[in-house]
Amino acid sequence: MNVIETSGLRRTFSTRRGRVEAVAGVDLRVEAGEIFGFLGPNGAGKTTTLRMLCTLLEPSGGEALVAGHDLRRGAARVRERIGYVGQQGGSDPQVTGRAELVFQGRAYGMGRREAVSRAAELVRALQLEEVADRRAGTYSGGQRRRLDIAMGMAHSPQLLFLDEPTTGLDPQSRAHLWEEVRRLRERGVTVFLTTHYLDEADALCDRLAIIDQGRIVSEGTPDQLKRQVAGDVVTLGLTGGPETALTLLRGQSFVREGTTGEGLLRLYVDRGETAMPAILRTLDAAGLELETISLARPSLDDVFLRQTGRSLRDRAA
Amino acid sequence: MKVLRDTGLVFNRYLLLFLRNPAWVVIQVVQPLLYLILFAPLLKSIAAMPGFPPGGAYNVFVPGLLVQLGLFGATSVGFGLISDLRFGIVERMRVTPLSRLSMLLGRALRDVVTLLVQALIIVLCSLPFGLSLHPLGVVVMLALLALIGLGFASISYALALRLKSEDAYAPLVFTATLPLLLLSGVLLPMSLAPAWLRAVADANPLSYAVDAGRQIFQDHIGDADVIKGLAIMAVLALLAVAAAARSFSRAVA
């Protein structure tokens, strides 16, 4: 069963320089119970898409079903069924974590007593016991993020949206948060998250879509995506720039595909071990001087590179 | 009644937050108190001038002071909302089924309550200076102030949601409130003004509120000016609430 289904979802913004198409027709299927990742560089349209799916932003066009309800006609129904954790979190630094959780429960229609007991449950579930009665402004980054997630789960939604959940967290807090997200999946919650971290998408997500310039360029499990790239990647740095070498090597039978970017030449080959000597011989014969050469199994960054011609790793820093 | 329940919920949240910093109530009262102590005595000598309304300097000055308090208090609430926007609080509430009207009303009613407390402080402090007022007058004046507070707080919230930053909000609010105040005869009654200035002031809804306040403080509670002032502020408040509630449902935080 699909928890999210969109077709041709679009969003344009009017700016001083004219109309900008932030999301240019997105088709998505997110299945119940999976962790679905939306991977892309800053400004790719991840957050805009997520905000549309959460009823925060009206789509300029297209259709979307979220948690069984039409986004346009049933926004109120959608809101009752989804949880949302935005980039800024949403807790007031002056308010205690527990008070925020109680308010959140009540905002979803719970009575006072029910909201208080649900807040206590969430405090336990997200290990906030020690800090629950302190003001949120005193929390560490990881604690605040756990509070944010607890708020998003106040009404036990079956679908939780997380916008860049680990941005700005230290590695340990990130690892904790990943565990938290996996625990949600174990309880049957579908998680839709955006990230510009490759390792996060790779390690955490069951399936993901790669988005660039408002369009989905690739979709599948991390393994499927990496397999699309096929074989190994040989990266070459050449004294005279990559273009001549690309023309030369593209014709070779062992090279499936070659791309250039950031002054480097990337060759996608079936077997790196046998391709490397052949590459070296070809370059040598043509008198091209080699500076660096490296061999790698494909990563999600290679998938991104292949689809867009740019590296996500450099841009995400 | 979901709207009532949700409004109560939001109102409680913001009232509690306000009570955590009670210093604000006092800080906002200091300025009008300074006017009362350092400026109002000047009026005593010109109260005898032709064109100055009857009833004593303080009965003429204090209603204007209260309207000024209302305007300044209500237009400063946008800053709090901008800070909420930055923390993602507005966005987080907009994803819940909370009524959009309640998200506005809960806040604005909190602002009205604090304004009324402040107004009572000013009225009480004015009594030793020679202000005389019927208790019913106090009630009607507070009702007028409540409408002013509700209207202008709503306008502030709508502006804050649109502008999203203090840098844009502050200059706009400061440049807009000063002419509004000067053209409402807050400091000196418009009856002293030349004809052209009076004509401009007639276009300012706030001047009707000040006129109404002065009549109330003359114990002319049934006066047509009082009805007119209340009616104009009520219409303004209604329009402002409708517009601001719309902003809450559409805001892109």
- What is chain B's pLDDT, residue by residue, as a tens digit (253 residues)? 899 999 999 999 999 998 888 787 778 888 888 888 888 888 887 887 777 777 788 888 899 999 999 999 999 999 999 999 999 999 999 999 999 999 999 999 999 999 999 999 999 999 988 888 889 999 999 999 999 999 999 999 999 999 999 999 999 998 999 999 999 988 888 888 899 999 999 999 999 999 999 999 998 998 999 999 999 999 999 999 999 999 998 865 4
Residue A31: closest CA among A168, A230, A192: A192
CA distance B151 to B238: 7
Region A100-126: mean pLDDT is: 96
Judging contacts by C-beta atoms under 8 Å, the chain A residues touching residue B89 are 90-92
Instruction: Spell out which residues of chain A touch residue B91, defining contact as CB-CB under 8 Å.
Output: 56, 86, 88, 90
Task: Find the range with the poorest average confidence among A203-217, A240-254, B215-229, B233-247.
Answer: A240-254
Q: How far apart are CA A78 and CA A159, in angstroms?
A: 10
Q: How many CB atoms lie within 10 A of CB B19?
A: 12
| pLDDT at A229 (0 to 100) | 66
Put simply, whether B30 touches A (Cβ < 8 Å) is no
Q: How far is CA B182 from CA A176, A237, B200, in A?
A: 59, 71, 11
As beta bridge partners, residue A84 has: A161
Chain B hits for A103, Cβ within 8 Å: 9, 13
Token pair, residue B46, equals 């010109």
DSSP reduced 3-state for A266: strand
Question: φ and ψ at A286, to 5 degrees?
Answer: -85, -5
- Which residues are CB-neighbours of B89 under 8 A, at least 6 positions away? A90, A91, A92
Beta-strand pair A69-70/A82-85: unpaired
The one-character DSSP state at A289 is P
Q: Is the pLDDT confidence value at A315 over 70? A: no
The rounded distance, in Å, linking the Cα atoms of B12 and B6 is 10
Please give the pLDDT value at position A313.
64
Alpha-carbon distance A17 to nearest alpha carbon in chain B (angstroms): 19
Report d(CA B141, CA B118) in Å as an integer.
Answer: 13
β-strands A232-238, A215-220 pairing? unpaired
Give the chain B residue whose CA is nearest to the CA of A58: B250
| Chain segment B93-104, per-residue pLDDT in tens | 999 999 999 999
Helix axes A97-107, A112-125, angle to 10 degrees: 130
**pLDDT score for B117:** 92
Q: How far apart are CA A53 and CA A157, in angstroms?
A: 14
Contact B241, B154 (CB under 8 A): yes
Q: Which residue in A has a C-alpha nearest to residue B13's C-alpha?
A: A103
Q: Quick one: pLDDT at residue A17?
A: 83
Average pLDDT over residues A274-293: 86
| Alpha-carbon gap: A81 to the closest alpha carbon of chain B (Å) | 9
Report the pLDDT value the prediction gives residue A11, as an integer from 0 to 100.
Answer: 94
Which range is least confidently modeled, A72-86, A118-132, A277-291, B46-60? B46-60
Is residue A316 predicted with pLDDT exceeding 50?
Answer: no
Strands (E), A203-302: 207-212, 215-220, 232-238, 255-261, 264-269, 290-296
A152 → chain B, closest CA residue: B92
Q: Please check the confidence at residue A310 and state whether its pLDDT lies above 80.
A: no
Residue A36 near residue A30, CB atoms below 8 Å: yes
Angle subtended at Cα B192 by Cα B187 and Cα B193, rounded to the nearest 5 degrees: 90
- Number of inter-chain CB pairs under 8 A, A vs B: 64
A307-311: average pLDDT:
76
Contacts of residue A117, Cβ cutoff 8 Å, sequence gap at least 6? none
How high is the pLDDT of residue A317? 39
Instruction: Decide: B161 and B81 in contact? Cβ < 8 Å.
Output: yes
Indicate if the pLDDT at residue A270 is higher than 80.
Answer: no
B194 touches chain A (CB under 8 A): no
Give the model's pLDDT for residue B251. 64
What was the pLDDT predicted at A53? 95
Dig out the tokens for A195 from the structure: 């990230």
Q: Which of A17-31, A302-316, B97-111 has the highest mean pLDDT?
A: B97-111
Provide the token pair at A59: 């789509």
B88, A90 contact by CB (below 8 A): yes
Tell me the nearest-neighbour CA distance from A80 into chain B, angstroms: 6
User: Smallest Cβ distance to B91: which of A56, A94, A103?
Assistant: A56
- Give the distance from residue A91's alpha carbon to the nearest chain B alpha carbon, in angstroms: 6
- A311: confidence class by pLDDT, cuts 50, 70, 90: confident
pLDDT value for B157: 97
Looking at A213-227, A301-315, B102-116, B207-221, which range is the least confident one?
Answer: A301-315
d(CA B123, CA B213): 13
- The secondary structure of residue B192, as a DSSP letter, is G
